[in-house]
Structure 1
Amino acid sequence: MRICVFLSAADLDARYTRPAREFGELLGKGGHTLVWGGSDTGLMKVVADGVQDAGGRLCGVSVDFLAARARAGADEMVIATGLAERKRLMLEKSDAVVVMVGGTGTLDEATEILELKKHGHTDTPVVLLNTDGFYDGLKTQFRRMEAEGFLPRPLTDLVFFAEEPVGALAYLEESAGIR
């Protein structure tokens, strides 16, 4: 399975790097391909290291103004002309999406895939990996949106919240009929 991971390229502490590394290792051991922003910095590097060290494949989609930070040695690296093209390519190359911790770029990527699902333009499984409660506030907001009629589909049809990497991958593999 080709799994897109949206996450930060920032250098963060162990409470975020440990789950990113663990998820990467699980992907690699499972024979999956990581589709990610292509960066060789921060959490993007951590998850890619985990995948590669465990025997998985890497498909990076960087963007022209960040190409200098692209990971050398990825199995595939595409350089997009802008952020919108990057998102589109990442989603096109993926069978599933996992959203890990990140900033506004990660939030933009997450809401785009959820909006596509909401309108029936994709049935791609989406997981928010809620590391250390990072997405608790977003989960509360989504539940409010659902309760107040802003979501035309049940929240559970749009996204699965996982607390640990193993739960995230188990959900994706079950969704794809793997196991």
Structure 2
Amino acid sequence: MNICVFLSAAELDERYTRPAREFAELIGKGGHTLVWGGSDVGLMKVVADGVAEAGGRLLGVSVEFLADRVRKVSDEMVIARDLGERKKFLLEKADAVVVMVGGTGTLDEATEILELKKHGHHIKPVVLLNTAGFYDGLKQQFQRMEEEGFLPLPLTDLVFFAEEPVGALAYLEESAGTQ
């Protein structure tokens, strides 16, 4: 399975890197391919290193203005013209999406994929990995949107909130069998 992971390129502390390494190892040992932003810095590097060390494949999609941060060794690397094209390529290559901790770019990617899914343009499973409660506030906001009628379908049809890496991958593997 090609698993697209949206996440930060920032250098983060152990409460975020440990679960990221664990998830990466699960991807690699499961024989899956990591589809990611292609950067060789921060949390992106942690995940790419972990997948590669565990025997998984790496498919990166970067952008021209980040060429100096591109991972030098991967199974495939695509360079997009801009962030919009990058997101398009990432989603085209993916069988499933996992949103890990990140900043505004990660949040942009997460909300775009959920908007596409809400309108039936993306039927792939989406997991929000809520490491260290990072997305508790977002989960609460989504629940409010659902309760107050802002979502045309149940929140559980849009996204699965996983608290641990093993739960995230188990959901993806189970969902892949029903797609």
Query: TM range, normalised to the smaller chain?
Result: over 0.9
Once superposed, what is the RMSD of the aligned Cα atoms? 0.7
Identity %: 83
CA–CA distance in structure 2, aligned partners of residues 113 and 122 of structure 1: 7
Q: CA deviation at 1:56?
A: 0.2
Give 1:135's aligned residue.
135
Q: Could you say which residue in structure 1 is the equivalent of 2:84?
A: 84
- CA distance in 2 between counterparts of 1:128 and 1:99 reads 5
The aligned counterpart of 2:30 is 30
What is the TM-score with the length of structure 2 in the denominator? 0.99
Q: Give me the whole-angstrom Cα distance separating, in 2, the residues matched to 1:48 and 1:102.
A: 16
Q: Distance in 2 between matches of 1:120 and 1:177?
A: 19
Q: Secondary structure at the match of 2:44?
A: helix
Counterpart position of 1:166: 166
* Aligned twin of 1:126: 126
Aligned position for 1:176: 176
Query: Whole-Å Cα distance in 2 between the matches of residues 7 and 78 of structure 1?
Result: 18
Counterpart AA for 1:77: M
Q: Distance in 2 between matches of 1:2 and 1:117?
A: 18
- Aligned residue in 2 for 1:107: 107
3-state DSSP of counterpart to 1:128? strand
TM alignment of 1:43-62, pairs within 5 A: 43-62=43-62
Q: Give the deviation of 1:122 after TM superposition.
A: 1.3
Moved segments of 4+, more than 3 Å = none
Post-superposition offset of 1:102 = 0.1
AA aligned opposite 1:169: L
d(CA) in 2 for partners of 1:177, 1:87: 25
Structure 2 unmatched ranges of 5 or more = none
Distance in 2 separating the partners of 1:19 and 1:96 = 19
Q: Tell me by how many angstroms 1:29 deviates.
A: 0.0
CA distance in 2, matches of 1:176, 1:4: 13
